[in-house]
Amino acid sequence: MQESEENTLQNNSQDTTELKSELNSTEIVERESELDNTIVNQPNEPIMEVAHHHSSHGPKKLKDFIYEFFMLFLAVTAGFIVENIREHYVERHREFQYMESLVRDLKSDTAQIKLIINQYKTQRKGIDTLLQVLSSEKESNKNGKIYFYVFGYLNNATFFKCADRTISQLKSSGGLRLINSKTISDSISEYYYLNDGQDVTSKFCLEDFNKILQFEKENFDFTLVTKFRLRQLKIMDDKSFPTLNSQQIRTFFNSVFIYQSLLTDYTKVLHQLNIQAISLIGFLEKEYQLEKKHE
């Protein structure tokens, strides 16, 4: 009887254990299902993690501020230096171009001056002879000789005009400031100052030359020049020409004499200008090494 009761208790205990096990399994399944539903129903939001970072650095020290300021200052200064170097290169290149162009102008000037001086040498010889004829009282074929020397040596006037293209650009654009060398700047200024002087002298010469032309228009017969060659006029009888009275001859002599004097002074000015131009060409070619470029 007792054994039967023990068996019954053991069976009841096993049933109870199995029931508990079944209940626990059912509860676990239900909870897992609820958890799955919760996860599915939640929106897709990133999982935010809040982390507290504790800075390992303390407040900035004075040397940190000084270092940052120094680096900023260094960057600005370096940019400024680079820009200055670039501007310096551009200005030196422009200076070189200006001087190269100026040398070409000066060479053109020297060629023109040489041509005019040679022309004046011939012209002054003819004027000298004309003055002798005008002042002579017993000159044979005087009128014919006057016509010969007037139309042979006083029919034109040539005056120097410098090539001022480059210097005008330098003045108008402020390019003279590009010239670093004071010696070069002074030499250029001296040349063009001397050129201004010759320009004034040439205007005086032109005024007197115009007076001579006016006298010729009023007192000479130009049709004779179209009918005869100059050498024929030189040997023609005086009766073939309009007669010039003593007053007219004296007035004409004075005009020609003054013009010759001005022309002599003008030739001296051109000589000085030519010397200055040649010197300046050599100076600029040496300083800017232009002669090497053209070799």
Domain residue ranges in the chain: 89-294
- The list of the chain residues with pLDDT below 70 reads 1-58, 80, 82-91, 291-295
What pLDDT is attached to residue 250?
94
Picking from 222, 238, 227, the residue whose alpha carbon sits closest to that of residue 139 is 238
CB 71 within 8 A of CB 242: no
Check residue 29 and give left, alpha or beta (phi > 0: left; psi -120 to 50: alpha).
alpha
What pLDDT is attached to residue 9?
45
What pLDDT is attached to residue 293?
54
CB atoms within 10 A of CB 3: 7
3-state secondary structure of 295: coil
Picking from 285, 245, 3, 5, the residue whose alpha carbon sits closest to that of residue 134 is 245
Tokens 């960057």 belong to which residue?
A: 75
What pLDDT is attached to residue 81?
73
What pLDDT is attached to residue 192?
95
Burial class (CB within 10 angstroms; exposed 0-12, middle 13-18, buried 19+) of 46: exposed
What pLDDT is attached to residue 23?
45
